Structure 1
């Protein structure tokens, strides 16, 4: 593992502490991967928020959602995707790196990688401590895992050096000519 990039929030730093300690890697704290600034909604119970008009916007049209006293979900996606793509470009094509962030932040990055509009990001499920894997290439990202809570991390291994950034025809994982 070449790099561990983590949100500045303590809970994310605690999540990666054991891994970085075992590997001797100094985590890179990335402000752009911070939790959504929910503003006036921060710390409130979901049951208090579901009656508010903004709740419907968050659920059905997240790209238009801006939290009172906080930030908009479109802003979150822009900052998070920029951070992820920047870190990925800094590393080599064969490097494997880890990002630890928050549900809505990760969902917004996955929506981008899947080519989905932000308004579809509520369809993506990201459980706590789940693993999602995106492999970026010169031309596009490939989403290899989403919300994986199992033990097999073989999808984290880089592809063979000869693999191009073209999609495999028919989705096959068989031998390429």
Structure 2
């Protein structure tokens, strides 16, 4: 098992405006690249054993500076990918909030599937399975980076905290934040959750 540092990708032009989903070509903006460099510098003192990332560009670009500073490759892990938002992908949040199904997304996600896309239940199962599979190849003290997306990270945290899926929206996961998940053989523990710039500076 392992200590997993769950990293949300850095800022891009669609954050808070549109559901980027699995659209190709969504890259970090200037702020996002700065966040990735700062995060890499802060994590440089940690003995990171491996760096995994969702296949999408914004996560790969966040993972690359971390991997580079540790002389490691970025390992693409499909299970860390963003939710498949189906027909909602690329639509503005302003537009989606007027959709009659938006209330179900916010209040009853455990029964919701995105039109022509993925359900929250399936996404949660996927991300949890991916993290457990990665962890099972490691020793208890191994520190592993996994770069993913807001909702998959929130769904994973909710699962390991034993929270109902319908409450997962209460969790906040900011861009370039780190959430630490300790998957030891005999217990699971979390903390910090949504740690922001400065938290890991100087830690080993």
TM (norm. structure 2) is 0.73
- Indicate whether 1:63 and 2:110 are aligned: yes
Between the aligned partners of 2:168 and 2:53, the Cα distance in structure 1 is 21
2:151 counterpart residue number: 104
Which of the residues 58, 63, 69 maps onto 1:11?
A: 58
| Offset, 1:14 | 0.3
- Indicate whether 1:93 and 2:140 are aligned: yes
Residues 145-154 or 12-21, more deviating: 145-154
Q: Please state whether the residue corresponding to 1:3 is helix, strand or coil.
A: strand
Question: What stretches of structure 1 of length at least 5 have no aligned partner?
Answer: 158-177
Which of the residues 52, 75, 78 maps onto 2:125?
A: 78
- Indicate whether 1:23 and 2:70 are aligned: yes
Give a deviation string over 1:90-110, Cα, whole Å, max 9, x none: 110110001100000000010
Give a deviation string over 1:67-125, Cα, whole Å, max 9, x none: 00111011000000000011111110110001100000000010011111211100000
Between the aligned partners of 2:187 and 2:100, the Cα distance in structure 1 is 36
| Offset, 1:61 | 1.0
| Offset, 1:47 | 1.0
Question: What stretches of structure 2 of length at least 5 have no aligned partner?
Answer: 1-47
Between the aligned partners of 1:138 and 1:110, the Cα distance in structure 2 is 18
| Offset, 1:139 | 3.0
Kindly report structure 1 stretches of 4+ aligned residues shifted beyond 4 Å: none
Between the aligned partners of 2:151 and 2:92, the Cα distance in structure 1 is 17
1:37 counterpart residue number: 84
Q: Please state whether the residue corresponding to 1:128 is helix, strand or coil.
A: coil
| Offset, 1:6 | 0.5
TM (norm. structure 1) is 0.84
- Indicate whether 1:50 and 2:88 are aligned: no
2:189 counterpart residue number: 142
Give a deviation string over 1:31-87, Cα, whole Å, max 9, x none: 111111101100001111112222111101111110001110110000000000111
The structure where helix makes up a greater share of residues is: 1
Give a deviation string over 1:114-152, Cα, whole Å, max 9, x none: 111211100000001011111112233101111110323
User: RMSD value over aligned CA atoms?
Assistant: 1.6
Greater relative CO, 1 or 2 (CA 8 Å, sep 6+): 2
